[in-house]
Amino acid sequence: MLTGRRSQSRVAGILVAIFCLILLFIHRSGNRYPETVAQLSTGDAPEAHATPAHTTPHRETEIVLASTTREDPSWVYQYFSHWNPQVYITDDPLAPLTVPKNKGREAMVYLTYIIDHYDNLPDTVIFAHASRFQWHNDDPDYDILPTLRNFRLPYVREAGYVNLRCVWVIGCPAEIRPFEDEDPEDGDEKQREEAAKKPVSAKGVFRRAFQELLPEIPVPKLVAVSCCSQFAVTNDTIRRHSKERYVRFRDWLLDTPLEDSLSGRVMEFSWHIIFGKEAYHCPSAKECYCNVFGLCDLSCSDSSCDGRYILPPYATLPEGWPKLGWNHEDRGYIEPSY
């Protein structure tokens, strides 16, 4: 009887031991599977679904400024930080945003931005110069702040390309006649000397340059657009051309023997054509101020509207502007409150 009980106890002990071994095996096996899942979730799986490291979140609007170390673009961060300012310093190769070579004026900045962001453009890009007060800004005080504050982005999305300047002087109604304007380099020494005394103009060099830039487009007989290389454009309009085309435009700027001022001026009067507008692009001032800035109750002629813009006597605004005028008089200027 005692022997039987011992046998039963031994069998029970063996069964318990076997059961414990089974539990231990299951426990260890169970621990291996989480390790495998963890390896997949940190290794193989992310490779299939990872977000590229340099992908930028979608932006509706971005503003790009062409600047130098002498200019102060702080206004754009103060008033338009929501447009994610991209300020390129053309004469500082160590700047966070710069260009391959300081050549071609603002065109080098604009093309560099387009090339670098071609695959991830915002809905709308505004291209402008860095100084807040400049003679060509379409404002009574030559201040770009009201221009951008009033700027109607929905109209840009409708039009594809919009100039930030409505007044016709300078650029409209007939800035360049490529088949009539003479290239100073084709004249004699006296003609070249006379041409050098005149304001810088792309008139004489435009036809040859246009053929190099856009060989598939016939050279227009008349080119007109309000100056001065400040505009907004949609991503779809930019992508009318391939990225490689913009690289070729920039290569032209880098390689052309034209002086910096001339190559930049050629681009200034080519942007609207590149972005799909007719070579003659001079909408009436009344229509432009209403569509672009929402200023629809102005008294206007075809070329200008009362109280909006007067061509200044000099391209450089006087020291103390906008508080002091051309004769150092007090203008009674009051800083806008935004």
* pLDDT score recorded for residue 201: 65
Strand blocks (E) in the chain: 61-67, 86-89, 124-129, 161-163, 224-225, 231-234, 280-281
- Give the integer Cα–Cα distance in Å for 44 and 229: 49
pTM for the complete prediction?
Answer: 0.80
* pLDDT score recorded for residue 2: 36
* pLDDT score recorded for residue 194: 52
Q: Give the CATH number of the domain where residue 72 resides.
A: 3.90.550
- Assigned domain for 51 exists: no
Share of the chain above pLDDT 90, in %: 75
- Assigned domain for 94 exists: yes
Model pLDDT for residues 150-176, shown as the tens digit of each residue: 999 999 999 999 999 999 999 999 999
* pLDDT score recorded for residue 338: 76
To the nearest whole number, what is the mean pLDDT of the chain? 85
* pLDDT score recorded for residue 34: 32
Model pLDDT for residues 264-301, shown as the tens digit of each residue: 999 999 999 999 999 999 999 999 999 999 999 999 99
Q: Find where tokens 């053929």 sit.
A: 211
Domain count, the chain: 1
Of 142, 103, 146, the residue nearest 255 (C-alpha): 103
* pLDDT score recorded for residue 199: 54
Model pLDDT for residues 56-70, shown as the tens digit of each residue: 678 999 999 999 999
Percent helix, strand, coil in the chain (nearest 5)?
45, 10, 45
The residue among 45 and 199 whose pLDDT is bigger is 199
Tell me which amino acid residue 275 is: F
Share of the chain above pLDDT 70, in %: 78
State residue 88 phi and psi, 5-degree precision: -95, 125
CA distances from 9 to 14, 137, 268 (A): 9, 102, 101
**Directed axis angle between helix 243-255 and helix 260-268, to 10°?**
150
> Which band of pLDDT confidence, cut at 50, 70 and 90, is reported for residue 190?
low
Once rounded to an integer, what is the mean pLDDT over residues 107-114? 99
* DSSP per-residue string spanning 195-218: HHHSPP-STTTHHHHHHHH-TTSP
- Assigned domain for 305 exists: no
- Domain holding 65, by residue range, is 61-176+223-293
- Assigned domain for 113 exists: yes
* Beta carbons within 8 Å of 295's beta carbon, 6+ residues apart: 150, 289, 305, 308
Does the pLDDT at position 148 exceed 60?
yes
**Directed axis angle between helix 260-268 and helix 106-117, to 10°?**
60
Once rounded to an integer, what is the mean pLDDT over residues 109-123? 98
Does the pLDDT at position 208 exceed 90?
yes
Question: And the tokens for 336?
Answer: 């806008």
- Assigned domain for 327 exists: no
Once rounded to an integer, what is the mean pLDDT over residues 108-132? 98
- Assigned domain for 11 exists: no
- Alpha carbons within 13 angstroms on the beta-carbon side of residue 142 total 20
- Alpha carbons within 13 angstroms on the beta-carbon side of residue 133 total 14
At residue 141's C-alpha, the angle toward residues 139 and 81, to 5°, is 75
- Secondary structure of residue 115 in the 3-state scheme: helix
State residue 322 phi and psi, 5-degree precision: -95, 0
Model pLDDT for residues 223-271, shown as the tens digit of each residue: 999 999 999 999 999 999 999 999 999 999 999 999 999 999 999 999 9
- Give the integer Cα–Cα distance in Å for 144 and 44: 51
Q: How do 161-163 and 280-281 pair as beta strands? A: unpaired
- Assigned domain for 328 exists: no
State residue 155 phi and psi, 5-degree precision: -70, -35
| Cα R_g (the chain), whole angstroms | 33
- Assigned domain for 104 exists: yes
* Beta carbons within 8 Å of 175's beta carbon, 6+ residues apart: 203, 223, 224, 225, 269
